[in-house]
Structure 1
Amino acid sequence: METTATTAPTTAERIRSACVRAGGAMLAVEGVEPAATPVHHLLDDGSFAITAPVDGVIAGMAIAAGDAGVQAVLEMTDYAPLPLREPVRSLVWIRGRLYDVAAGEVAALLDLIATEDPNPALLQVHSPAGTGDPRYALMRLEIDSVVVADSTGAESVGVSTLLDARPDPFCAMESCWLQHMESAHRDVVDRLASRLPTALRRGRVRPLGLDRYGVQLRVEGDDGDHDVRLPFAKPVDDVTGLSQAIRVLMGCPFLNGLRARRL
């Protein structure tokens, strides 16, 4: 039986990668101003651990609501790492009920989050054992629905599917690679652009995305923006495989691949 190779991330994989890349997110509750939340971590039980300003209205509403919780939406924006004409690659909306984390559970939950995501903002979360001047309260968002939207449209995904998915193995280094490609390897972009339909080559071609399945290019033309995915022959799992796959996509015979500069 013939099988079809996977050429792009699943919706759940795209959401998990966006969660890793999004440096910040916004937490919204009807009737009040949205609040920035630097921590948004998906837990194994399918809820999100998030932070809200400790003296803010949203934290106060969640505390006052107790076991009833407050209806809330967490919005994450995935920005392209380059200054594109339209920099937003995708938006993720996570709707659910927001609860305050009990004081006795805060320290253990912070430790759990830190093992996977050592976000400096965790040090600013109010904890009974903490010191200093805390800026954030720790909240839990029990998920009702998850939706992602990009240039192709909007799609929802179930919580169990989201938990089964994993972030792209290169999402943490993607920004460095794309910026390096744009600034120091314009020849790579030009060779990839040669794979595009002739009509699209008239616009300005920019690197838009990079994942284990392929490369995305943004063509900024007079008639608008066009996003094109160039898939690898097969998905890759490490830096060596990624470098080789890009060279194959370019039609490059050289042994030495593109290397991102160390920061």
Structure 2
Amino acid sequence: MIGDATTGTTLVAPTTAERIRSACARGGDAILATDGVDPTATPVHHLLDDGSFAVMVPTTGPLAAMSVAAGAAGIQAVLEMTDYAPLPLREPVRSLVWISGRLFHVPTPGLAGLLDLIAETNPNPALLQVNTDTGGADASYTLLRLEVDSVVVADSTGAESVGVGALLDAKPDPFCAMESGWLQHLESAHREVVDRLANRLPAPLRRGHVRPLGLDRYGVQLRVEAEDGDHDVRLPFAKPVDDAAGLSQAIRILMGCPFLNGLRARRI
């Protein structure tokens, strides 16, 4: 369950579209599934400006050949993205995203330009391995395009559909790239911060094992692993933050730290 541990009111939190954009930006695990073949891992799943997704599949795999054979008809497929927690939790999956649509082969004319466009915001080294029919030794992937019919995300609160327009309007969280490293460092080197944050939880939840679960511009999420199951709790910031300085101050406020805005303890 997800709740506000402090006020019980409606939370200020990322929209579902923002969460999906952040998951895409983090470049987590993703697979393409279609009838008749085993699911295929795709190292790049990039939202294009027209609302379709650019995805990569092995050139020697069945999906590459099927997309060429299907031509303008395309192939019905589902892109599944898994958002894993940065820490080894008892239940590591934070959310699942299913993007359904039709899969098309990207023709050679314009392919290099599309790869450059993707690399401007997503410089994934795997893009260098896309087959551009130049005979390169590392050309082990084929670029495909998934025209989206529907997007559904599911987490511990349930499932929700999201329109393509909402995805295009949303932006990734400004801290999504640093989230994993920050939470891992928090868990391993600053357990006292987690304990201070845990003091804001309802008393029954403090008896469980409290772990950092998520971080975004709106607040911090904690996972409580208890005997009666897992409980996810959001601690919202007083207002959204956009940079490292604002994030540091917001966390200090959550901790109840008296030394805000750079104040120092008086020397004795």
Query: TM-score normalised by the shorter chain: which range applies?
Result: over 0.9
Question: Which whole-Å deviations, capped at 9, do the CAs of 1:96-145 have from their partners, x for residues lacking one?
Answer: 00000001121011000001010010011001346223111000000000
Pair 1:195-2:182 in alignment: no
2:168 corresponds to 1:163? yes
The residue type paired with residue 245 of structure 2 is T
Confirm or deny that 1:141 pairs with 2:149.
no
Match of 1:54 among 55, 59, 63: 59
Q: What TM-score comes out, normalization by structure 1 length?
A: 0.94
Mapped partners of 2:203, 2:11: distance in 1: 26
TM, length-normalised to structure 2 = 0.92
Q: Which residue of 2 aligns with 1:186?
A: 191
SS in 1 for 2:110: helix
Structure 2: any 5+ residue segments left out of the alignment?
A: 1-8, 263-268
Q: Distance in 1 between matches of 2:116 and 2:134?
A: 12
1:20 Cα offset (Å): 1.4
Distance 2:107 2:251 in 1: 49
Q: Say if 1:182 and 1:189, in contact at 8 Å, map to a contact too.
A: yes
User: Aligned letter for 2:207?
Assistant: R
Q: In 1, distance between residues paired with 2:89 and 2:26?
A: 17
Percent of residue pairs bearing the same amino acid type: 76
Q: Which amino acid aligns with 1:10?
A: T
Distance 2:83 2:261 in 1: 31
CA contact (8 A) 1:72 1:96 kept: yes
SS of the aligned residue for 1:91 comes to strand
Alignment match of 2:246 (pick from 241, 245, 254): 241
CA–CA distance in structure 2, aligned partners of residues 233 and 130 of structure 1:
56
Preserved CA contact (<8 Å) 2:29 2:83: no
Q: Is the 8 A contact 1:6 1:213 kept in 2?
A: no
Q: Structure 1: where are the runs of 5+ without partners?
A: 258-263
CA RMSD of aligned residues (A): 1.5
* 1:243 Cα deviation after fit: 0.6
2:85 to 73, 80, 85: 80
Higher relative contact order at CA 8 Å, sep ≥6: structure 1 or structure 2?
Answer: 2
Q: 1:23 & 1:12 partners in 2: Cα distance?
A: 16
CA distance in 1, matches of 2:40, 2:258: 51
| Runs of 4+ more than 4 Å apart | none
Counterpart residue number, 2:133 = 128
- 2: CA distance, partners of 1:130 / 1:233: 56
Quick one: which amino acid aligns to residue 77 of structure 1?
T
